[in-house]
């Protein structure tokens, strides 16, 4: 019997561009410029594979109305990052994004500072994952690259996990090498069990290649650094450069 929908080991690595921080800059002045929709259109034009947007509880960057506008502006799949709350579930069901990535969310944090405790929150997450899946939305869980969390994702029947690369990005030397091994082992374990592994957080031109070289990874979601680089070089150049580095990593 063939195993579950396991992708071929070497498959193209997709780039999802997180456009939240275009909205952060827009919101700093309370107007409508710069518009994250324009960023989504540029990403589509230069060969990005998806748009990622995190609708936070406090709406500090992406806002409700942005979601529909992004969906209408491009054909790229929308990956909606969301906390596991009834409010966000209702919004996801109303918008039917291609994917919903469930992330832990604390109002006081600057960004998503760690992975979801899928193992500890099974009972809370199970109905949310089921309702999203029943609606045809591809559920991803943003977890640490950790066997216990992958096993929890399997029990939750999540088709995708995204590994939090924040720790990899923030440590150096031997510690970074150890984190990279942890990511590679986790990607292999997820893949072996029919779960599609993605990765993201804190990825830059300088640190993306070793992660992109992990053969089981199918998608990287990258935001803050690309939007920061876009200030200096333009978003088109920044996305193309990241794409080139990812392609280089895959040989």
Return residues touching ligand PXP (CB under 6 A).
Answer: 18, 54, 81, 101, 103, 111-112, 142, 162, 200-203, 221-225
What is the smallest separation between the CB atom of 102 and ligand PXP, expressed in angstroms? 9
Question: Is the CB of 2 or the CB of 67 nearer to ligand PXP?
Answer: 67
- Please report how close the Cβ of residue 188 comes to ligand PXP at its closest, in angstroms: 20
Nearer to ligand PXP by C-beta: 159 or 202?
202
Shortest separation between residue 20's beta carbon and ligand PXP, angstroms: 6
Residue among 104 and 215 whose Cβ is closer to ligand PXP: 104
Tell the smallest beta-carbon distance from residue 91 to ligand PXP (Å). Answer: 16
Residues catalogued as catalytic:
54, 81, 201
Three-state helix/strand/coil letters over the chain: CCCCCCCCCCCCCEEEEECHHHHHHHHHHCCCCCCHHHHHHHHHHCCCCEEEEECCCCCCCCCHHHHHHHHHHCCCCEEEEECCCHHHHHHHHHHCCCEEEECCCCCCCCCCCCCCCCCCCHHHHHHHHHHHHHCCCEEEEEECCCHHHHHHHHHCCCCEEEEECHHHHHCCHHHHHHHHHHHHHHHHHHHHCCCEEEEECCCCCCCHHHHHCCCCCCEEEECHHHHHHHHHHCHHHHHHHHHHHHHHHCC
Question: Which one, 89 or 222, has the nearer CB to ligand PXP?
Answer: 222
């Amino acid at each position: 019997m063939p195993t579950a929908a396991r992708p071929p080991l070497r498959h193209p690595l997709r780039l999802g561009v997180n456009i939240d921080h275009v909205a952060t800059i827009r919101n700093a002045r309370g107007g409508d410029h710069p518009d994250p929709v324009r960023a989504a259109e540029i990403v589509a034009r230069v060969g990005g594979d998806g748009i990622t947007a995190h609708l936070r509880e406090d709406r500090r960057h992406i806002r409700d109305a942005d979601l529909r506008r992004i969906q209408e502006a491009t054909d790229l799949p929308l990956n909606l990052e969301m906390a596991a709350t009834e409010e966000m579930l209702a919004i996801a069901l109303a918008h039917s994004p291609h994917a919903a990535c469930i992330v832990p969310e604390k109002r006081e944090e600057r960004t998503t500072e760690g992975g979801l405790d899928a193992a500890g929150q099974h009972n809370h997450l199970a109905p949310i994952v089921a309702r999203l899946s029943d609606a045809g939305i591809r559920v991803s869980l943003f977890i640490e690259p950790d066997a216990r969390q992958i096993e929890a994702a399997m029990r939750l029947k999540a088709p995708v996990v995204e590994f939090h690369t924040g720790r990899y990005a923030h440590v150096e030397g031997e510690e970074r090498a150890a984190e990279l091994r942890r990511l590679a082992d986790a990607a292999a374990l997820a893949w072996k069990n029919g779960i599609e592994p993605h990765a993201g957080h804190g990825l830059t031109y300088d640190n993306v290649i070793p992660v992109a070289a992990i053969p089981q990874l199918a998608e990287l979601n990258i935001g803050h650094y690309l939007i920061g680089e876009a200030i200096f070089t333009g978003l088109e150049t920044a996305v193309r450069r990241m794409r080139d580095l990812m392609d280089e990593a895959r040989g």
